[in-house]
Chains A and B, each alone.
Chain A
Amino acid sequence: MAETVQTHPSPPSPGGIRGFVSDWASDQQAFKNVSWGKAMMWIFLLSDTFIFGCFLLAYMTARMSTVVPWPNPSEVFALNIAGHDIPLILIAIMTFVLISSSGTMAMAVNFGYRRNRRMTALMMLLTALFGATFVGMQAFEWTKLILEGVRPWGNPWGAPQFGATFFMITGFHGTHVTIGVIFLLIIARKVWRGDFDTERRGFFTSRKGRYEVVEITGLYWHFVDLVWVFIFAFFYLW
């Protein structure tokens, strides 16, 4: 990544509200100790927040305004294990898988800044594995629901909007997880090859990579987990 050329050495910026005002009023760079890559990832995540926010809002509006009872997610997503109907168990396992992946990702970032090449790559691969497991379980869930007759325009248990919102929200989230897994695998390969130690230039960008890329990948991955926290609360538990 290109180094920013500071034409005027900036005085040490104060903290707190005063620091916020002086950062935003300053020359060249508002986010002082954050690289452009990290700032842009945050801004992308903010825009993604609005997308998922609007999906959940659409779901809320449909559910609040329907005169037909909403299907009970606790029963819809129950699994019959050893003769007992356990409510929401698959979703609970998916939640734990995703939280585990968030933990391993945090470890990967930590090992990255310690310049531990092997552990960083291994932790990222483990994260990708958890992510792939999550997507697999989601595919299982979709298959089960489709076989039970859930369609975007109707379902056997109640309000027809249930299927549309379910496929839309979980589908979009699953896509994000899938993209995250691909992103993780690409960066893990670079870490494993030692690109960030030898400052090898990237194939597309011709820029030198740094271990900060691991943290930026981590930001995306934690965001995917964050979105799931909201989906779990509003769609599955409510």
Chain B
Amino acid sequence: MAQVTVDSPRQAAVQKAVHAEHQQHPIGLYLVVWGLLFVLSVCSYLVDYFGLQGYLRWSLILIFMVLKAGLIVAVFMHMAWERLALLYAILLPPIAILVFVWLMTAESHYTLLTRMAFFGTAPGN
């Protein structure tokens, strides 16, 4: 890099501390996240228990799912405290799966259309 910073002893000490640093965080934080995960799980179960249907059901399921996944990855797996180099290396590639989802949605619409055109809606293959 063009930008070279002069290593003052203090900076070096800070750098050393960062290297030696473990993922150690207050227990209270874990307990709060644990509690939140329980609450979110109860919420997603209630979606089914009350038999919500349609877009309301699907959006609630997705919201609770994303919140739970985010909490687990960010706090329990310590991703929130990792450097961006690791964060991007791990969290960006799964976007390819979302592209795949989009492709297969189009594909299954086509398959369904073909099946209905050739076999009608009668049960069978």
Contact = CB atoms under 8 A, between A and B. Distances in A.
A43 B90 CA distance: 7
B83 A237 contact: no
Contacts, number: 181
Interface string B11-28: 110110011011111010
Interface stretch (A108-116, A164-172, A189-197): A108-116
B51 interface: yes
Contact of A237 (B61, B84, B85): B61
A7 to B, nearest CB: 16
Interface stretch (A29-37, A131-139, A174-182): A29-37
A230 B65 contact: yes
A107 B27 contact: yes
Nearest to B114: A65
Nearest to A111: B27
Identify whether the interface residues of A are mostly helix, strand, loop, or mixed. helix
Given A57-B100, A233-B65, A103 B30 contact: yes
B9 interface: no
B44 A232 contact: yes
B86 A230 contact: no
A110 B97 CA distance: 33
B32 to A, nearest CB: 11
B85 A31 contact: yes
A99 B71 CA distance: 12
Interface in B1-50: 1, 4-5, 7, 11-12, 14-15, 18-19, 21-25, 27, 30-31, 33-34, 37-38, 41, 44-45, 47-49
A61 B27 contact: no
A39 interface: yes
Chain B, interface size category, equals 35 or more
Contacts of B78: 215
A129 B17 CA distance: 36
Interface string A207-236: 000011001001100110110011011001
Contacts of B123: 67-68
Q: Which of A30, A65, A105: most chain B CB closer than 10 A?
A: A65
Q: Which of B22, B64, B73, B121: most chain A CB closer than 10 A?
A: B22
Which 3 residue pairs are nearest across A and B when measured between Cβ atoms?
Answer: A23-B85, A64-B108, A65-B111
Given A87-B48, A96-B38, A106-B75, 9 more contacts: A12-B7, A31-B85, A53-B97, A102-B37, A106-B34, A113-B23, A113-B24, A215-B78, A222-B73
Interface of B: 1, 4-5, 7, 11-12, 14-15, 18-19, 21-25, 27, 30-31, 33-34, 37-38, 41, 44-45, 47-49, 51, 57-58, 61-62, 64-65, 68-69, 72-73, 75-78, 82-86, 88-90, 93-94, 96-97, 100-101, 104-105, 107-109, 111-112, 115-116, 119, 121-124
10 contacts: A33-B83, A53-B100, A60-B101, A60-B104, A60-B108, A114-B24, A223-B77, A226-B72, A229-B68, A237-B47
